[in-house]
């Protein structure tokens, strides 16, 4: 038994318990030259495995990691016999400077399924955040996005956001009246757009007539409507007594000032 090889095998990190046990068994059987030749069946029995496939796979992996080298042997009749395993110099074999044992570790995989999934979610949120029209409290919005996308399809959510953005543009909604992104998600406001087509929202903006009238004309229309309401309130039916109508002097004066300012001529009600 080689104490150096056994100690070196015990110091290897990053292996599963079963593979570590197999490596320790090989190290325990090594001679002073750092070699051993136990059969697959013998190792499987020591470890407690039902067959030798796990042993073969583990030893092949050790060779790929550089922990040992495999020498295929044959018996006197030309048939195959157990392999001889040579522990590498890094595992405690003889070197020019004598015995040397190095603490080895098996590298961990750097790209797991969970890591990839997390990066995908981050990228999806960045796209969602970039499209949202009001950018306040990104951290809280990100937490709500992670929570929503666990039960709601992220592509469908992005489609609902596009409809919401189109609606804001059609209504010309000011930024201060747009809810925070976290509120939009937390209150499930995107559900309001599930049954609405984005084409209908965009057509809404086209059908709206722009109000290009000057302010004085809009003021005149408002005052005229106020006067018309007062006149209509004075009308009566045959069964109702006639109400006396009194013109609003302030409204009439305002209309006169607007007419004089812009040289608008017209007939009075008495004409």
Residue 57, φ and ψ in degrees, nearest 5: -65, -40
| CB-based contacts of 79, cutoff 8 Å, min separation 6 | none
64-75, pLDDT tens digit by residue? Answer: 888 888 888 888
Tokens (6 digits) for 144 = 């709500």
For residue 163, the model assigns a pLDDT of 92
C-alpha angle 90/65/8, rounded to 5°?
A: 35
Indicate the CATH number of 3-99 among 3.30.70.1350, 1.10.30.50, 3.90.190.10, 1.10.10.10.
1.10.10.10
Q: Which residues contact 144 (CB under 8 A, 6 or more apart)?
A: 181, 182, 185, 186
Return the H-helix or E-strand segment holding 36: strand 35-36
For residue 138, the model assigns a pLDDT of 92
User: What are the extents of the domains in the chain?
Assistant: 3-99, 113-207, 212-235+242-271
Closest to 31 in 3D by CA, of 62, 59, 68, 3? 3
Q: What's the pLDDT score for residue 114? A: 53
| Below-70 pLDDT ranges, the chain | 1, 89-119, 205-220, 226-251, 263-271
Return d(Cα 248, Cα 116) in angstroms, integer. Answer: 74
Residue 97 is predicted with a pLDDT of 34
Residue 251 near residue 227, CB atoms below 8 Å:
yes
pLDDT of residue 104: 43
Question: What is the pTM assigned to this prediction?
Answer: 0.38
pLDDT digits (tens, 9 = 90+) for 19-51: 999 999 998 888 888 889 999 999 999 998 888
Cα 179 to chain centroid distance, Å, stands at 21
Nearest to 88, CA basis, from 75, 104, 73, 76:
104
Burial of 221 (0-12, 13-18, 19+ CB in 10 A): exposed
Per-residue pLDDT at 103: 42
256-264 long-range contacts (CB < 8 A, ≥24 apart) are: 258/216, 258/219, 258/220, 258/223, 261/216, 262/216
Q: Where are the alpha helices (DSSP H) in the chain?
A: 3-10, 17-29, 40-47, 53-65, 113-131, 138-148, 154-171, 181-186, 198-207, 215-234, 249-261
């Amino acid at each position: 038994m080689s104490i150096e090889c056994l100690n070196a095998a015990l110091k290897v990190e990053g292996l599963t318990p079963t593979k570590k046990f197999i490596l320790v068994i090989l190290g325990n059987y090594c001679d002073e030259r750092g070699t051993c030749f136990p059969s697959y069946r013998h190792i499987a029995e020591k470890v407690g495995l039902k067959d030798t496939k796990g042993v073969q796979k583990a030893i092949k992996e050790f060779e790929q990691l550089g922990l040992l080298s495999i020498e295929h042997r044959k018996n006197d009749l030309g048939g195959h016999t157990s392999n001889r395993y040579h522990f590498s110099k890094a595992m405690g074999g003889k070197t020019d400077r004598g015995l040397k044992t190095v603490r080895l570790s098996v590298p961990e995989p750097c790209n797991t399924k969970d890591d990839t999934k997390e990066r995908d979610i981050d990228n999806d949120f960045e796209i969602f955040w970039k499209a949202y029209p009001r950018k306040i409290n990104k951290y809280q919005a990100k937490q709500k996005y992670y929570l929503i996308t666990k039960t709601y399809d992220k592509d469908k959510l992005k489609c609902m956001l596009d409809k919401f953005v189109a609606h804001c543009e059609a209504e010309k909604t000011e930024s201060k009246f747009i809810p925070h992104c976290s509120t939009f998600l937390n209150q499930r406001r995107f559900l309001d757009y599930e049954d609405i087509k984005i084409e209908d929202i965009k057509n809404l903006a086209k059908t709206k007539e722009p109000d290009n009238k000057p302010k004085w004309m809009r003021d005149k229309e408002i005052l005229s409507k106020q006067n018309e309401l007062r006149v209509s309130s004075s009308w009566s039916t045959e069964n109702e007594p006639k109400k006396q109508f009194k013109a609003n002097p302030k409204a009439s004066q305002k209309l006169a000032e607007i007419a004089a300012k812009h040289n608008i001529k017209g007939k009075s009600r008495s004409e």
